[in-house]
Amino acid sequence: MEARANPSPRTRLHSTLAAGRCAVNAWLSIPSSYVAEGMAHQGFDSVTVDLQHGMIGYEAAIAMLQGVTAGNATPMVRVDRNDPSAIMHLLDAGAWGVICPMIANQEDAERFVSACRY
């Protein structure tokens, strides 16, 4: 099945993917809004705040997402588990995309997508 490009990209990440290019993502695992903002100005298509393996909690993630939004990169998060409540909170906090670990089957995937579309 061929992927169809978005006719009106909304973010740098959308533009990159719609043009058929590979996206370049920065990964943040240390809680620092200053570093998050700096990374968002370095030319990355997206910047991911890692709440799974890093030392970042919800409050730090909010400030980091604000920092990423100040740049040109798309703010993303990786959650620590497939928890709809946590996913919704991070979307409310400013994440434009969510990476979810531990998706093992169709039911897990449907639960994750449902949380992202609340």
CA dist., res. 70 & res. 64, Å (int) = 10
- Which one is catalytic: 14, 41, 53, 89? 53
- 41 as an active site residue: the answer is no
Please choose, from the candidates 3, 64, 68, 14, the residue with its C-alpha nearest in 3D space to the C-alpha of residue 42. 68
Known catalytic residues are 53
